[in-house]
Amino acid sequence: MTFAQAVTDRTRRLQTRLCVGLDPRLSEYRDLDALRSHTLDVLEATAPFAVCVKPQLAFFEALGLPGFTLLEEVCAQARTLGLPVLLDGKRGDIGTTAAAYAQGWLAGAHAGDALTVNPFLGFATLTPFVEAARANAGAVFVLVKTSNPGQDDLQGEGVSERVAAEIARLNAQEAGDGYASVGAVVGATHPGDLARFRAAMPRALLLLPGLGAQGARAADLAPAFHSDGTGALASASRAVQYAAGLDVVAGREAARTLRDELNAALAQA
């Protein structure tokens, strides 16, 4: 299955829309061994409630070579658990550099099933990423309207809408009428915009970051989904991995609660 098919199938079978983010912060642990064990334990404990897992590449890169080794372990364990892997790297560059990023993160030894990408060097920079995603049954998630308060500096005045239109154009190139390979990042912190972006990109999966630590509420996210409850992945990282310090059981229960809150929001919509 493609990434889009896999997460949609998992949504329907397990009734979950929660994307569990992994942000292994070295400052939280006594050493690298503790970081590794806790990260893998959280992954396993939360898998039953997750539609996919989202490792934040910055935290793995910050660890140097041990971080890349851990990333490969995370990806391998996620696949054993049946969890699609969405790498959060926000990569974006031009020409051969963009192609190298696409090769490394969508087809290489550290590859995930999907990758977040930055379109703000121009739409042509998306081409290598989209081609790699399509060739490997993967996906890219293009930044449209991010969850941070300062996003309006560059994403206002119609810019986000132009990116959304380009995503819709790219997805229209793909056969069929299901979700296509180009998704969109639309912050869960912008609930008033979700219905508009959902309508603008009907074949795009929406990644909704910002649950928990950034203040977004599951109860507000129903407009991001299609009427059958598919089409969006609501992401929480710190609110799960560090729900109560390094308590893995608390992380598992936080994931369960968020899954249930998302389901309740859709039931009431």
Structure tokens at 119: 């379109």
Distances (CA, A) of 102 to 5, 22, 75, 107, 200: 21, 21, 17, 7, 26
Residue with tokens 């603008």: 200
For residue 199, with 0-12 CB atoms within 10 Å meaning exposed, 13-18 middle and 19 or more buried, which class applies? exposed
DSSP 56: B
Dihedrals φ, ψ of 17, to 5°?
-125, 10
Distance between CA atoms of residues 269 and 265, nearest Å? 6
Catalytic position from the list 17, 36, 38, 90: 90
Distance between CA atoms of residues 164 and 182, nearest Å? 10
- Nearest residue to 208 via CA among 198, 6, 102, 60: 198
Cβ-Cβ contacts under 8 Å for 242 (sequence gap 6 or more): 25, 28, 251
145 is a catalytic site residue: no
Pairing of strands 86-91, 206-209: unpaired
Distance between CA atoms of residues 86 and 100, nearest Å? 18
Distance between CA atoms of residues 240 and 159, nearest Å? 32
Distance between CA atoms of residues 216 and 159, nearest Å? 23
The residues assigned a catalytic role are 90
